[in-house]
Amino acid sequence: MGRGKIVIQRIDDSTSRQVTFSKRRKGLIKKAKELAILCDAEVGLIIFSNTDKLYDFASSSLKSTIERFNKTKMEQQQLLNPASEVKFWQREATTLRQELHSLQETHRQLMGQQLNGLSVKELHNIESQLEMSLRGIRMKKEQILTNEIKELTRKRNLVHHENLELSRKVQRIHQENVELHKKAYAVSIRNELGTRDIEDTADESHAQVRLQLSLPEQSHYETSTNS
């Protein structure tokens, strides 16, 4: 025989009710997952038990799903009742004006203005907020300074390394210049010695030529004397 239809009504027995709730909840969440995967649907599921225990499931994000639901619900209501759109934006404008006024008042209090009428507790809260802000500002400033110091240290090391490389290059060039100077000096000495040898040889040749030219004159003088 087939199973008979289950009567959908509240289960009186608390134990049976809890067991049924647990089974049906798991099956419902499983069906929601299958629906989201198979049909590429955005599914959000919220369950509260009779003991106020919360169970939820969302295919993406439950918060975004709820926001999408509220937005879509509001748009549908506005389409059905255009007058409600005007009321909605009026409420939004009023809310924004209140938030702006609250922010302006808080800003003035943080600047040390309009503190009359505040209790000691409220003043202490403002003081705590300022101290937290100062700590955050100091931490951010220290972080920026630390990063700048690291960057300057890196640049200093880089410049120091470049200076060492330039110093080594200058020393090599100086050494090469010294070597070239020595070679040039040696060549100059050799050239000077060679020039002196040539000059001495030329002087000796000239002296011999003069000696040979003088011999005939001396002989003629001696002959005249004898006669």
User: Residue 54 falls within a domain, yes or no?
Assistant: yes
What is this structure's pTM? 0.36
**Residue 189 forms part of a structural domain:** no
Domain count, the chain: 1
Residue 198 pLDDT exceeds 70: no
> Does the pLDDT at position 112 exceed 80?
yes
Residue 7 covered by a domain: no
Q: Is residue 145 part of a domain?
A: no
Give the pLDDT band of residue 212 (cuts 50, 70, 90): very low
Q: Which amino acid is at 78?
A: Q
CATH number (domain holding residue 71): 3.40.1810.10
> Half-sphere exposure of residue 84, counting CA atoms within 13 Å on the CB side?
9
How far from each other are the two terminal CA atoms of the chain, in whole angstroms?
188
Q: What is the pLDDT of residues 115-171, one digit of tens each?
A: 888 888 888 888 898 898 889 999 999 999 999 999 999 999 999 999 999 999 999
pLDDT at 3 over 70: no
Determine what percent of the chain is predicted with pLDDT higher than 70.
Answer: 79
Q: Is residue 225 part of a domain?
A: no
Whether 71 maps to a domain, the answer reads yes
**Helix 120-226, helix 82-110: angle, nearest 10:** 70
Domain membership flag for residue 204: no
Angstrom CA distances, 70 to 66, 67, 87, 218, stand at 6, 5, 16, 146
Per the listing, tokens 């050494």 go with 175
Range of the domain at 55: 12-80
**182 occurs within a structural domain:** no
